């Protein structure tokens, strides 16, 4: 099976966690696109979704799903999203698609985070995938200097987030203690969000492998 087939497999598998009649949190990325496709085909009755990006919002609306602003919603039962890397404690690097800030906000108000990923995303130590950090535009150089002091190599992505900010992709870190790194990097003035999801990691991992979908629970 190629990577796209594995993404479809886990997108389909995530339907098991969706509860009809409940507001659903929907993440961003090509794996989530497969999930949204599967959701549409399933015909499940979802009163509304809360989305983590304009991209997912447009896709959901095009399929006839209602999308609510998070300010209209108090709690979300289940949030389905992908990851760029995930370790054995279910800490993740996210933000490859640039939606990390909204993803972290939706994850915060969700009772259950279901991570869907193909097998290539499972790692022992986070950091091979460059860590995305969303930054206020005027702070790009200042934050870059702080990151360099910590041994990271920041690369400015040619991209503007849904929130009007920039993203630095940081190479060269091996992240053994993701909770501490998340806390530390979030303290740098000018950083909006670091793409480490360790303090609030995933609760369930659906991993697409050659032998089918493997389920891991926190």
Site residues for ligand 5RP per CB under 6 A = 27-31, 81-84, 94-100, 103
> Does the annotation list 172 as a binding residue?
no
Q: What is the widest separation between alpha-carbon atoms in the chain?
A: 51
> Does the annotation list 209 as a binding residue?
no
Give CA 58 to chain center in angstroms: 17
Task: Tell the smallest beta-carbon distance from residue 100 to ligand 5RP (Å).
Answer: 5
Which is closer to ligand 5RP, CB of 96 or CB of 201? Answer: 96
> Does the annotation list 83 as a binding residue?
yes
> Does the annotation list 56 as a binding residue?
no
Task: Tell the smallest beta-carbon distance from residue 149 to ligand 5RP (Å).
Answer: 26
Cα–Cα dist 3/12, whole Å? 14
Strand 76-81 with 110-118, pairing: parallel
Query: Which residue reads 């535009």 in tokens?
Result: 137
Selected catalytic residue, list 85, 103, 134, 182: 103
57: enclosing H helix or E strand: helix 54-62
Per-position b or e across 99-121, b if 16+ CB within 10 A of its CB: bbbbbbebbeebebbbbbbbeeb
Which is closer to ligand 5RP, CB of 81 or CB of 169? Answer: 81
Active site (annotated) includes residue 54: no
Residues tagged in the binding site annotation for substrate: 28-31, 81-84, 94-97, 121
Active site residues: 103
């Amino acid at each position: 099976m190629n990577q796209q087939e594995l993404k479809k497999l886990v997108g389909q598998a995530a339907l098991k966690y969706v509860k009809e009649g409940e507001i659903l949190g929907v993440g961003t990325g090509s794996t989530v696109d497969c999930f949204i496709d599967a959701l549409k085909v399933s015909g499940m009755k979802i009163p509304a979704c809360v989305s983590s990006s304009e991209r997912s919002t447009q896709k959901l609306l095009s399929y006839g799903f209602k999308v609510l602003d998070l300010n209209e919603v108090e709690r979300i039962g289940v949030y389905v999203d992908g990851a760029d890397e995930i370790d054995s404690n279910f800490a993740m690097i996210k933000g490859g698609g640039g939606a990390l800030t909204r993803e972290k906000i939706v994850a915060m108000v969700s009772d259950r985070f279901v991570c869907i990923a193909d097998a290539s995303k499972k790692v022992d130590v986070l950091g091979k995938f460059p860590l995305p950090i969303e930054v206020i535009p005027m702070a790009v150089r200042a934050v870059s200097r702080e990151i360099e002091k910590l041994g990271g190599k920041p690369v400015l992505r040619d991209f503007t987030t849904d929130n009007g900010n920039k993203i630095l992709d940081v190479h060269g870190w091996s992240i053994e203690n993701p909770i501490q790194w998340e806390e530390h990097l979030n303290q740098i003035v000018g950083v909006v969000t670091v793409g480490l999801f360790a303090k609030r990691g995933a609760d369930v991992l659906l991993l697409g492998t050659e032998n089918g979908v493997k389920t891991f629970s926190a």
